[in-house]
């Protein structure tokens, strides 16, 4: 059988998370029941065994709540490429102790990167220890570690000063107005209107080379598809099989159309588009409902 070749894949094992952050793009929570079925896990494992993948990322939700699934799929990805890079995005709650950190991360084959999601809305009584445990383990095992911090307002940036000097990269991102953050327009008003940034408008979607698997929905190139809240759009964005992804209708459009091109073809938008994905959402929902 000829192997399918993909540079980068991502899988969401499920949307359950110990937290219920008010800005969460996927509206995850401790009781979220959205997760891969046993059939999906089996099918995904077969897909990965027949694909040459350079990197495989797991996000969520909190992916390490689904550790058995992550380990099984990571092992499947090594069949065709023994050097595949496995990447995890985590809230760090699993690493309260050095032993829990080590016992969790050591199970994941070919672990190449751990990205810690950290911001004021994730803050607990002791938020430094889990991060220090992860940093220590990853440094000892040659695994890349970084922090991704979301900023609700400029004052949130001050929080990063409370972190010790860890010697790892820290990326700061603004909160996108999706998921639970949909109703936070006033709190996000400090963020720059993307329509005022010519470089952003002239560009095209940067996700068209990606492939992300959503539980119960399938493969998509759009990592923000979960924010659309419009199931009838799934036929435009999702494919049940990885090899069918290049044929989904939205992909060809997004490769050809810039964000300014989307705006030019739409009526005035009701929402202030603080994010390129918001322009995309308005464009596609306009096609469906307009």
Q: What DSSP string describes 209-255?
A: T--EEETTTEEES-TTGGGS--GGGHHHHEESSGGGGGG-HHHHHHH
- Tokens 């494919």 -> residue: 239
Contact 138, 145 (CB under 8 A): yes
pLDDT at 280: 78
216: alpha, beta or left? (left if phi > 0; alpha if psi -120 to 50): left
- Spell out the domains of the chain, with CATH numbers in brackets: 4-191 (3.20.20.70)
Q: What is the pLDDT of residues 95-148, one digit of tens each?
A: 999 999 999 999 999 999 999 988 666 666 677 899 999 999 999 999 999 998
The more confidently predicted of residues 246 and 63 is: 63
Asked if pLDDT for residue 149 goes beyond 90, the answer is no
pLDDT at 107: 98
- Say which range, 117-131, 206-220, 258-272, has the weakest mean pLDDT: 258-272
Angstrom CA distances, 165 to 92, 120, 133, 136, 144, stand at: 17, 18, 14, 12, 16
Question: By C-alpha distance, which of 183, 179, 212 is closest to 58?
Answer: 212
Tokens standing for residue 206: 């940067």
**pLDDT confidence band for 24 (50 / 70 / 90):** confident
Q: Which residues lie below 8 Å from residue 145, measured CB to CB, with a gap of 6+?
A: 113, 114, 115, 116, 134, 135, 138, 139, 168
The pairing of beta strand 111-117 with beta strand 212-214 = unpaired
Q: Buried b / exposed e across 234-250, counting CB within 10 Å, b at 16+?
A: bebbbbeebeebeebeb
pLDDT at 230: 65
The more confidently predicted of residues 184 and 190 is: 184
Contact 139, 82 (CB under 8 A): no
């Amino acid at each position: 059988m000829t192997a399918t070749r993909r540079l980068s894949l991502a899988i969401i094992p499920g949307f359950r998370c110990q937290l219920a952050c008010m800005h969460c793009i996927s509206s995850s929570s401790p009781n979220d029941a959205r997760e891969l079925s046993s059939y999906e896990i089996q099918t995904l494992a077969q897909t990965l065994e027949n694909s040459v993948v350079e990197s495989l990322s797991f996000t969520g939700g909190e992916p390490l709540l689904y550790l058995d699934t992550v380990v099984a799929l990571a092992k499947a990805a090594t069949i065709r490429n023994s050097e595949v890079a496995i990447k995890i995005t985590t809230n760090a709650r699993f690493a309260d102790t050095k032993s829990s950190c080590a016992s969790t991360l050591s199970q994941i084959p070919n672990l190449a990167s751990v990205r810690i999601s950290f911001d004021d809305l994730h803050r607990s009584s002791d938020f430094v220890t889990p991060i220090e445990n992860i940093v220590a383990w990853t440094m000892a095992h040659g695994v890349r570690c970084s922090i991704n911090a979301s900023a609700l307002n400029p004052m949130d940036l001050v929080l990063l000063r409370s972190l010790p000097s860890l010697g790892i990269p820290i990326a700061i991102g603004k909160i996108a107005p999706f998921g639970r953050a949909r109703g936070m327009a006033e709190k996000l008003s400090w963020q720059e209107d993307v329509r005022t940034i010519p470089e952003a408008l002239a560009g095209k979607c940067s996700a068209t080379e990606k492939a992300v698997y959503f539980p119960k929905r399938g493969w998509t190139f759009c990592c923000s598809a979960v924010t659309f809240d419009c199931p009838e759009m799934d036929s435009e964005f999702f494919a049940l099989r990885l090899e069918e992804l290049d044929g989904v209708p939205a992909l060809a459009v997004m490769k050809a159309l810039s964000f300014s091109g989307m705006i030019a073809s739409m009526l005035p938008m009701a929402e202030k588009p603080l994010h390129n994905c918001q322009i995309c959402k308005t464009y596609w929902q306009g096609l469906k409902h307009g």
